[in-house]
Amino acid sequence: MNMTKTHFTVTEFVFLGLSSQPKMQLILFVMFLFVYLLTVAGNIIIITVIQIEPRLHTPMYFFLTNLSFLDICYTSTNVPKMLSNMVGKKKTIPFSSWAAQTSFSFSFGMIECALLGVMAYDRYVAICHPLYYIVIMNQITCVQLATISWFSSFLSSMVINIFTLSLPYCGPNVLNYFFCEVPSILRLACTDTSFTEMVVFIFSIIIVFIPFILIIVSYTQILLSVLRIQSVSGRQKALSTCASHQTGVALLYGTAIFMYMRPQSKSSRAGGKIIMVFYTVIPPMLNPLIYSLRNQDVKGALRRAFAKQRA
């Protein structure tokens, strides 16, 4: 396959969406609009509270700020187009817009995996090496870790996009989904996609599984350290600082691994839609709740912020 030349005969793609029934589409529009507004508002609140509360100016909340900003970007990349398709008569997307949406969506998904890995390492240092925590997780190190997470993910997405765009698309152009994803697009290429699928799989392993391995190793060390703590209250305090992060990891990785690591020939289209909705819309909405309702520091900061507004 000649990767230096592109063959674009398909100028736009058509989304079938989640439902073909007008009434159901209206119900879904209202529901997803509410979820989108809740996601954006919740993450903006988290970012604002962390910025105005001096007690939250720590490495853990620096990474949480990155995660909240990322969730706003990620959901804003996919959901607005999905909403417009639900109520609009024209349910298409130009090829150039598809390329941009796919690139950003894939990038933001990878960045979230990388950030969750970094956050696990932060908790490992805090619990297993508390005396050296400030030295190890200094401001420069935090900025470097965040920068590496963003840059490496964007670079990986760029490589995947180049390989995907280099394939010929000469029809059909109908997507049985509600937004652009690389696995669904590859099914429409009119050539053998096995090499591109291998590239996607390799980069998914690098960007998705390396952070996952870091998370597993970090929490294994954390568990061993917690078991050595004599007091029950000390164990509970140590584990409570990780509970929110563990929930976020379970939400993202549980769906992402199933979506991208399963063989495409065995994919269920209906099941794939449900999974895509779950990992695209639900985690960005739940993250503000997870990190606020299960975090005493954030809840305290929220109470103080609301008290100032009432005063």
* Residue 2 counted as domain residue: no
Which residues, listed in sequence order, are joined to residue 8 by a DSSP beta bridge?
Answer: 169
For 67, residues 6+ apart whose C-beta sits below 8 A from its C-beta are 112, 115, 116, 119, 248, 287
Q: What is the pLDDT of residue 5?
A: 42
* Residue 59 counted as domain residue: yes
CATH number at residue 294: 1.20.1070.10
Q: Domain residues for 243? A: 12-310
* Residue 5 counted as domain residue: no
Contact in structure between 43 and 71 (CB atoms under 8 Å): yes
Tens of pLDDT, residues 160-195: 888 887 777 776 677 666 666 776 677 777 878 888
* Residue 3 counted as domain residue: no
CA dihedral 243, 246, 251, 257 (to 10 degrees): -170
* Residue 46 counted as domain residue: yes
* Residue 249 counted as domain residue: yes
Q: Where are the alpha helices (DSSP H) in 88-208?
A: 95-128, 133-136, 139-165, 182-186, 194-204
For the chain, percent of residues with pLDDT exceeding 90: 15
Q: Is the pLDDT of residue 144 over 90?
A: yes
* Residue 228 counted as domain residue: yes
Please give the tally of structural domains in the chain.
Answer: 1
The pTM assigned to this predicted structure is 0.82
* Residue 4 counted as domain residue: no
Tens of pLDDT, residues 60-86: 889 999 999 999 999 898 888 778 777
Q: What is the pLDDT of residue 44?
A: 93
Contact in structure between 178 and 15 (CB atoms under 8 Å): yes
